[in-house]
Amino acid sequence: MAPTSKADRKAALDAAAWMFNIVTSVGIIMVNKALMATHHFTFVLSTTLTGLHFATTTVLTVVFRWLGYIQPSHLPLSILIKFVLFANLSIVGMNISLMWNSVGFYQIAKLCMIPVSCLLEVVFDKIHYSRATKLSILVVLLGVGICTITDVSVNTRGLIAATIAVWGTSLQQYYVHFLQKKYSLGSFNLLGHTAPAQAASLLIVGPFVDYRLTNKRVDTFDYNVTTVFFIVLSCTIAVGTNLSQFICIGRFTAVSFQVIGHMKTILVLILGFFLFGREGLNLHVIFGMILAVLGMIWYGNASSKPGGKERRPSYPLPVDKSSKHGLLAEPGDHNDKV
């Protein structure tokens, strides 16, 4: 009974991690949409607001460390700087890409993160994907593309921003998994190292970047009690979003996080249609949603089978002997089984 109980417990924790990420991610998008659509807060996609998100996350990690829930750990400064560079390029690149490109091309750039993440795993981790796993990923890409890509127009500066965003995001997510395994860090441990550096860097450069992109100063906005409440709510939910991302990528990999994570895209579309009165929920979009969900189910099944997605034996992975550091530490399950 012990192996079965252990497997059941892992499956329950895996499901809880995915639900945590989906709920917080969809929640923060809905709050930010309300800020922009209802309260006309034009800095929803700002670097400054993202800096406030990480500042709130930093405060929580400091409190948990003070309470003893997060144990002391070490992350080399050079590695931290590299991670923050990739993460900030991801944030700024995605925001600029959305401003400079059409929504359709922005969605194409987001879909490109999956093959780029696959490439990183193949090159650096010597991961081998079975034919069924590859095909399931293609089905997900096709389904999400059908229900999200409409108008597609691109320009030179938009293409550069999208390229930076895709590679920055893919490298950042790859490093989340890699650093947790190599340095035996729990999710909150890693956040405790990275969140302060990201908050400081984004809050310093954020107002200048935002002014450069929008010709508006974030400090001159006409704030009121309702707007401040939604900003605080956005920052609070962002703590869960950041933590759940690290948990999911730590338990699985960046590729699985990207593939299954497109469930959030579908939920955001559905909620957007109902909450904000958007038109466009037609058979074309519904077909794309169904196809994407079927692809995700197929990916989960195909990647969990022997040979579906596995590391080649020539590449030894560091053994995670002490992954119990910190709150919500993740088990070192190196096979990517959803």
pLDDT in tens, 111-158: 899 999 999 999 998 888 999 999 999 999 998 888 877 767 778 888
Mean pLDDT of all residues in the chain? Answer: 83
Please write the tens of the pLDDT for every residue from 182-209: 998 988 899 999 999 999 999 998 888 8
Two tokens, residue 129? 């994907």
pLDDT band at 278 (very low <50, low <70, confident <90, very high): low
pLDDT cut 70: percent of the chain above it: 88
- Poorest-confidence range of 64-78, 138-152, 177-191, 322-336? 322-336
Q: Residues 288, 143: contact at Cβ < 8 Å?
A: yes
First to last CA, the chain: 22
The pLDDT score that the predictor gives to residue 95 is 83
Q: Residues 309, 131: contact at Cβ < 8 Å?
A: no
Instruction: Please give the average per-residue pLDDT across 83-101, as a whole number.
Output: 89
Note if the pTM is more than 0.85: no
Instruction: Please give the average per-residue pLDDT across 12-27, as a whole number.
Output: 88
Measure the CA–CA gap between 241 and 251, rounded to whole angstroms: 15
Q: Is the pLDDT of residue 301 over 60?
A: yes
Report CA-CA distances (Å) from 41 to 35, 49, 203, 217, 251: 5, 11, 18, 12, 36
Instruction: Please give the average per-residue pLDDT across 15-41, as a whole number.
Output: 84
CA-closest candidate to residue 332, choices 178, 126, 174: 178
Helices 77-100, 103-111: axis angle to 10 degrees equals 150
Q: Is the pLDDT of residue 295 over 50?
A: yes
Measure the CA–CA gap between 22 and 5, rounded to whole angstroms: 26
Winning range, highest mean pLDDT, from 30-44, 111-125, 296-310? 111-125
Helices 254-275, 283-304: axis angle to 10 degrees equals 160
Report CA-CA distances (Å) from 148 to 55, 274, 275, 284, 285: 32, 16, 18, 10, 8
The pLDDT score that the predictor gives to residue 325 is 45
> Mapping DSSP to helix (H, G, I), strand (E, B) and coil, where does residue 168 land?
helix
Q: Is the pLDDT of residue 45 over 70?
A: no
- Poorest-confidence range of 232-246, 280-294, 314-328? 314-328
**Containing H/E element for 129?**
strand 127-129
Provide CB contacts within 8 A for 66, sequence distance 6+. none
Q: Is the pLDDT of residue 109 over 70?
A: yes
Two tokens, residue 196? 């302060």
Two tokens, residue 280? 């466009």
- Bridge partners (DSSP) listed for residue 311: 127
Residues in the chain: 338
Winning range, highest mean pLDDT, from 91-100, 145-154, 174-183, 205-214? 174-183
Taking the CA atoms of 214, 220, 222 and 228 in sequence, report the sign of the dihedral they define: positive
Two tokens, residue 64? 């948990």
